[in-house]
Chains A and B, each alone.
Chain A
Amino acid sequence: EIRLVESGGIVVQPGGSLRLSCAASGFTFEDYTMYWFRQTPAMGLEWVSQITWDGSGTYYADSVKGRFTISRDDNKKSLFLEMKNLRPEDTGLYYCAKDMSSLQLQLLPDSWGQGTLVTVSS
């Protein structure tokens, strides 16, 4: 069974930093492109970032570029999102997801975690 479990979401002040983690199991993690999405009442579902299976390609939404960094540790089967200079509009439920097919960049997330809540507020 494919499982993705996010963690690390907390309440943080504007300008603060946070690191989200996503623990993967049930599939060959190192063969898949991975994604971060977020969901907010104001913006709905938003793509945040993605990293290719081999780590050679990282991509970011304009709203987070320069502030967020995606990374992966294939030995630990984990995905990370380093978040800096957080803003109130970064508040939301953050999901990690895997791509549908291995060794490709399909932009088709077919399995999602349950999310971790990030709140940016003073």
Chain B
Amino acid sequence: IVLTQSPATLSLSPGESATLSCRASQSISTYLAWYQQKPGQAPRLLIYDSYHRATGIPARFSGSGSGTDFTLTISGLEPEDFAVYYCQQRKNYFTFGQGTKLEIK
């Protein structure tokens, strides 16, 4: 299963909202997770099974979607939110998307 993320890079300012997309090559139901990775750090689980927030994740992070199209929304960007975001499916073992870099405009 191939995951395609868009856009590759998203330039926004703090306080704005971010919408990141992930499309699967075949239906994965809601078996999609989102991770955040900052330079020099390991990936951090944000969202699992499309819309469940992981422990300790702020409410400004939300996920949606099912089947092949998924969205991660970050409402009111904080300075610490600028990072690379990956989607991951667990319908058939693991695959990750290629990532979306969220950068400060």
Contacts and interface: CB of A to CB of B under 8 A. Distances in A.
Interface stretch (B11-19, B65-73, B74-82, B89-97): B89-97
Contacts of A115: 42
B45 interface: yes
A77 B44 CA distance: 22
Nearest to A47: B94
Contacts of B98: 44
Contacts of A44: 86, 96-99
A20 to B, nearest CB: 15
A103 B51 CA distance: 23
Interface of B is mostly: loop
B43 interface: yes
Nearest to A105: B90
Interface in B23-64: 33, 41-45, 48, 54-55
Contacts, number: 43
Interface of A is mostly: strand
Contact of A45 (B41, B43, B44, B55): B43
A70 B99 CA distance: 27
A18 interface: no
B96 A46 contact: yes
Interface stretch (A7-15, A79-87, A106-114): A106-114
Nearest to B54: A110
Interface centre among A37, A59, A113 (most CB of B within 10 A): A37
Interface of A: 37, 44-47, 59, 95, 97, 100, 106-110, 112-115
